[in-house]
Amino acid sequence: MGQWDRFLQPYKQAVDELKIKLKGIRAQFEKSNTTSPIEFVTGRVKPLASIYDKTLEKGLVFEPSDTLAHELQDIAGVRIMCQFVDDIPTVIELLRQRNDLHIIEEKDYITNVKKSGYRSYHMIIEYPVGTIQGEKVILAEIQIRTLAMNFWASIEHSLNYKYKGVFPKEIKNRLQSAAEAAFKLDEEMSEIREEIREAQQYFTEYKEASKPKVRQNHPKGDREYQ
Ligand code: 0O2
Ligand code: 0O2
């Protein structure tokens, strides 16, 4: 295993564990017949090429080191998508209550929208990973955003690659107004949130009720038709 692979291994483990834990929150809400504030979760270890770019930007040496681990806070990144803006504080509170992670910084780019139009809530956490050499505490970033914010950020991120961060004025303006349109959509959806939630609840119950029942204790778990 190369030195980068060894360095990144705990980050990979942290991303995998955090994804399972966060998906577990969603599953618990579903099992208790309550709509989950988490729609879906994704995660990634920062690709080496992006780590390289960041080291150049920050004037760091591109080599696995404690300095790098300390300076780059998003080598492990997890993203939580919510349906509604109001779900975001609920998720934040759920995370603040956990004792398997320690939040060291919170950045509210929803109240303080970035100049680009970017909206999201970020948390930098310390997360302990069990390794064969003992516990290693690593930094990870959790981004919490709505589906609309995510849609905008994904598009902007791809364009950023194309234009290498220097957008033509026209594109920049359009992106900024698209960000406002996406937020307006979030606000509109929040207005009819209860209607949507009721419809989703009804749909989930309907799906559950129309599932064929599986007979308990049958060796092959045959379906019991009614
Ligand atoms: P399910 O049963 O589809 O919910 P993974 O390793 O596969 O868990 P990864 O590779 O980090 O996840 O990220 P990926 O593949 O981008 O997506 C993670 C999960 O988010 C997947 O579900 C996707 O189906 C789900 N997902 C991605 N985009 C959307 C979206 O726009 N809407 C919704 N509702 N879900 C999305 P799982 O975890 O594989 O399981
Ligand atoms: P990637 O490819 O997502 O990993 P830093 O830039 O990390 O040294 P800063 O500025 O405090 O320090 O970080 P910030 O802005 O709190 O968070 C950085 C991450 O947020 C970015 O990671 C993006 O994922 C996301 N982000 C921040 N601003 C924007 C934006 O204007 N547009 C989009 N699409 N995403 C944004 P990376 O490392 O840039 O990239």
- 144-153: pLDDT as tens digits: 999 999 999 9
The rounded mean pLDDT for the chain is 91
CATH number for the domain whose boundaries are 3-207? 3.30.460.10
pLDDT band at residue 222, thresholds of 50, 70 and 90?
A: very low
Cβ–ligand 1 distance for 151 under 6 Å, the answer: no
pLDDT in tens, 130-141: 999 999 999 999
Q: Tell me what pLDDT residue 203 has.
A: 80
Inform me whether the pLDDT recorded for 76 exceeds 90: yes
**DSSP β-bridge partners for residue 125:** 103, 140
C-alpha 65 to ligand 2 mean position (Å): 21
Mutate which of 11, 40, 45 for ligand 1 pocket (most atoms within 8 A of beta carbon): 40
What is this structure's pTM?
0.88
Query: Which atom of ligand 1 is least distant from the CA of 150?
Result: 31
Is residue 226 scored above 70 in pLDDT?
no
Residue found under tokens 């589906």: 147
Give the start-to-end residue ranges of the domains of the chain. 3-207
Which pLDDT tens digit goes with each residue over 77-107?
999 999 999 999 999 999 999 999 999 999 9
7 lines ligand 1 (CB under 6 A): no
Q: How does pLDDT run across 9-53, given as a tens digit for each residue?
A: 999 999 999 999 999 999 999 888 788 999 999 999 999 999 999
